[in-house]
Chain A
């Protein structure tokens, strides 16, 4: 799986958009970008994933650059409950990797009032 690089921490004001960057310059053509988050003392939560087109769901939007070497997770209106560690993971969507997700250090997002 391709390696990812994320800033160790970010701050965001409540109600504002949180934009979390991720670099994955060695991504392969069949690898997707996945985002998870982990709120303190809870299990990780799947947020969104994409291959090359921008994606949006009820939680967030994912913007992937045209060369696919970086992406940005956007929480459009951050709330205090969005304070968590956010993980960017690059891997194939299926195949024999069988759910082996390599969680790096992630970005600690702190949403403040």
Chain B
């Protein structure tokens, strides 16, 4: 069966510090990978998606970047965090051609102080 893991689960970082959130998927190959963010009291917003190694598409301009160094690894990064980067970050995967059915990770809660 397929599983998805992301870490760390909770992170408290000062403004201006770097960020790295990691996500890995097991039990499938060539998945589509996604990073979503959920700000407090708001809906989920798609940040990045990837259809293959090294292929990243950004949905919104922001202070964050994503990378996919391996088929089942997806990383969300920032060089300098802003207060507005606080939120609940979710990694998800889908099968290549079945992009309406997403499977989400446990989430990473980031607080920027």
Contact = CB atoms under 8 A, between A and B. Distances in A.
B74 interface: no
A8 interface: no
A65 to B, nearest CB: 20
Nearest to B4: A43
B106 interface: yes
Main secondary structure of the interface of B (DSSP, over half): strand
Contacts of B27: none
Interface stretch (B12-20, B79-87, B97-105): B97-105
Contacts of A46: 101-103
Interface of A: 32, 34, 36, 41-46, 49, 89, 91-95, 97-105
A93 B96 CA distance: 11
A91 B100 contact: yes
Contacts of A100: 46, 49, 59
Contact of A105 (B43, B88, B103): B43
Contacts of B49: 98-100
Contacts of B103: 46
B44 A99 contact: no
B98 A101 contact: no
Nearest to A95: B99
A99 B102 contact: yes
Which 7 A/B pairs are nearest by Cβ-Cβ distance? A43-B104, A103-B44, A103-B43, A99-B99, A100-B46, A43-B90, A94-B97
B99 A94 contact: yes
Nearest to A97: B99
Given A44-B90, A101-B46, A103-B43, A94 B100 contact: yes
A51 B88 CA distance: 31
